[in-house]
Chain A
Amino acid sequence: MSVKLNTRQTGDVTVIDASGRITLGEGASALRDVVRDMVAKGTRKILLNLSEVSYIDSSGIGELVSAFTTVSNAGGTLKLLGLTKRVHDLLQITKLYTVFDVHDDEAHAVRSFA
């Protein structure tokens, strides 16, 4: 299953609920398109919920990095929520765990944008 992305608003934070696989092709480009569209429309606080993402390959990691830099370059912040163990391990192995602000609790994550 390719990735599914749903967005919702919690205060001034936009949450993207992702589910499925973020891999080369449709999955990775869908995330890129959504984040770029949000930034173009002025969104600056984005919480990417990966708790239902079962699989990310290196292209998917690249898209997470691109999303992070796209939002950062626009003066905003992108944080991650709810990593599965495999995605957590992947970010640790690639040393990206220290780049992203990662949260387990949504309410805490939303408050951290303030």
Chain B
Amino acid sequence: MALNAGESTVLDEAYPSTLESVDTAETEILKAAAQAGFDEDAQHRIGMSVRECMVNAVVHGNRYNRRKLVRVSVAVETLDSGARLTIRISDQGEGFEVQEVPDPLQDKNLLRHSGRGLFLMGAFMDDVKIRRLSPNGTEVTLVKSVGAQGAGEKQDG
């Protein structure tokens, strides 16, 4: 994939579909976020979003199938206002329809055991994009810029 001017890839790895990979990817991306200049709170939000995304890829996408991989790439772009981190996480699973994921904030869903991962990514990151891959798989792109707040936190100041 072509990079924008001033953008550099700091991580490009394929991980087996295990919970250990979730921890490994989170740790690696947190290092990249710290080096890019994100403060501790932003690092926490990025780390949590990565964790949710990796869990979705390992558990729901690849269903713990060790022959299926989770590919993770991280690019850092230098902007006048600071740095922008773009994280892409893709699985080799069957895929899903985003519009079919229940809204966890609806009263009828508040006490559901699961289904908050995508919502938290959206709350903590500046932008989240999901696309189906061919012939199979799902790619999630998470974007966050230094100094920007996640969509769900803007009201909190």
Contacts and interface: CB of A to CB of B under 8 A. Distances in A.
A24 B112 CA distance: 16
Contacts of B19: 24-25
A69 interface: yes
B59 A58 contact: no
- Interface majority SS (helix, strand, loop, mixed), chain B: helix
B105 A94 contact: yes
Contacts of A57: 48, 51-52, 55
A96 interface: yes
A59 interface: yes
A94 B22 contact: no
A7 to B, nearest CB: 23
**Which of the four size classes fits the interface of chain A?**
20 to 34
Nearest to A58: B116
Interface in B127-157: 152-153, 156
Contacts of A95: 104-105, 110
A110 interface: no
B113 A94 contact: no
11 contacts: A57-B55, A58-B117, A62-B114, A62-B116, A65-B111, A65-B112, A66-B113, A69-B111, A86-B44, A94-B104, A95-B105
Interface of A: 23-25, 57-59, 61-63, 65-66, 68-69, 86, 89-90, 93-96, 99
Nearest 4 interchain pairs by C-beta: A58-B116, A62-B113, A58-B117, A62-B114
